[in-house]
Structure 1
Amino acid sequence: MTAHTGTPRQAGLTALYLGVFAALWFSVPKAEPPLSVLLVVLSVAALLTAVVGAVVAGRRGGHTADATPRDRAADRRYLLIVLVEFALAGLGAWLFTLVGWSAFVPVLVSAVVGLHFLPLVPVLRDPLLRPLGFAVCLVALVGLLVGLASTVLVGQVVGTGVGLLLLGYAVMALLRTRVSRH
């Protein structure tokens, strides 16, 4: 994921990655209509945002300002952060399932996802990832509390909440670049 949305390419990549992940989060909840219908609509919106992001990222003609050299050290830091994120989420999910807490896997994964945005702030030079990370962690906390105190499915709270946050950020990345260019 590239986030410093100062260039159309970077904004497009952000929208692409977060749009795809938003669609994945919208597929987490088990829901009946009308929520299930809303989740399908949101998934389609997220995938369309990802497609727009891919188109924006793929446009190279006339955007010589986008031709910045790659920062190999930042790429390595990014890859390390994402690998640690996936390892922690995967291992945690396996352990939660092993001890019979599989209903709370979305809480764990969303907390890990939220936390992974924090070390990405300096790597991607996007300070708005910090509030996104905190908001995703807050959704994890709300999902945990709802799961412990009610019969509402944790996946509905967490999947919908995280999906909305990622979709919103993806759209915002595209809009920020558009606004900054005018």
Structure 2
Amino acid sequence: MAAMQTGPESRRDGGITALVEGFFAASWFGWGQADPPAWLPPWLTVGSIAALLVAAVGAVVGFTSPASTAAINSRAAGRRYGTIVGIEFTLAGLGAVLLGMLGLPAYIPVWICAVVGVHFLPLTAVLRDRNLIALGVLLTATAVAALITGLTTAVAPSAVTGVGAGLFLSVFGAVALVRALRQPRPRPQPA
């Protein structure tokens, strides 16, 4: 078994991590636009643009690196990844439906952020990236902060999750991208 890395193991993994985390960071910044304080929208827009840049560069780095170097390069790893993400989507969807039925749609982003945060913990072993532990803890803490803020102030929970999840995913995506860019480019193998 490969030793657990403190970051993505290959250029491919780092690039794909930056792509995924950057894309979802932009999505969270967008969700934060649902009902933000008046001063926040320009900052959410800047965050979205920066996150999309991380995603775009990550896509180039990831998809121009050999797929054979990826953490999910076996059927078993792909199956574990699919199971974890499938459970994540199922729980997120069921919770969102339940909150909607209970007349609490403002707390849907809190639930989704918590589920996303928790799903990073089992993904740590599959993707061989210890940074996902910290990211998972930070996203879960963001969900808790959004819940408390939503219950005790007039600030919408979506504004808190939008800023927190967007920022943390952007930063971790950018770190993965920098690590990927520091990896040597694989040399083509002779035919």
Q: Does TM, scored on the shorter chain, surpass 0.5?
A: yes
Query: Which amino acid letter does the alignment assign opposite residue 117 of structure 1?
Result: F
Aligned residues: 178
Query: Which amino acid letter does the alignment assign opposite residue 160 of structure 1?
Result: V
Q: Does 1:166 align with 2:177?
A: no
Q: Does 1:41 align with 2:49?
A: no
Q: Please say if residues 110 and 137 of structure 1, whose CA atoms lie closer than 8 Å, have aligned partners that are also in contact.
A: yes
Give 4+ residue runs of structure 1 displaced > 4 Å after superposition.
none
Give the structure 1 partner of residue 136 of structure 2. Answer: 133
Paired with 2:100 and 2:69, the residues of 1 have a C-alpha distance of 44
Residues 111-126 of structure 1: pairs in structure 2 closer than 5 A: 111-126=114-129
Paired with 1:106 and 1:10, the residues of 2 have a C-alpha distance of 28
SS at match of 2:31: coil
Query: Which amino acid letter does the alignment assign opposite residue 61 of structure 2?
Result: V
Give the structure 2 partner of residue 144 of structure 1. Answer: 147
Q: Alignment identity in percent? A: 44
Deviation at 1:101, TM superposition (A): 1.0
Structure 1 residues without counterparts, runs of 5 or longer: none
Q: Does 1:110 align with 2:113?
A: yes
Q: Which of the pair has the greater relative contact order for Cα pairs under 8 Å at 6+ separation?
A: 2
Report Cα offsets for 1:102-145 as digits up to 9, x if no partner.
11111100000000001111111111111110110000000011
Query: Which amino acid letter does the alignment assign opposite residue 46 of structure 2?
Result: V
Give the structure 2 partner of residue 55 of structure 1. Answer: 60
What TM-score do the two structures reach when normalised by structure 1?
0.90
Report Cα offsets for 1:58-108 as digits up to 9, x if no partner.
224xx6984888211011010111011011001100100100111111110
Q: Please say if residues 9 and 66 of structure 1, whose CA atoms lie closer than 8 Å, have aligned partners that are also in contact.
A: yes
RMSD of the alignment, in Å? Answer: 2.2
Paired with 1:69 and 1:142, the residues of 2 have a C-alpha distance of 33
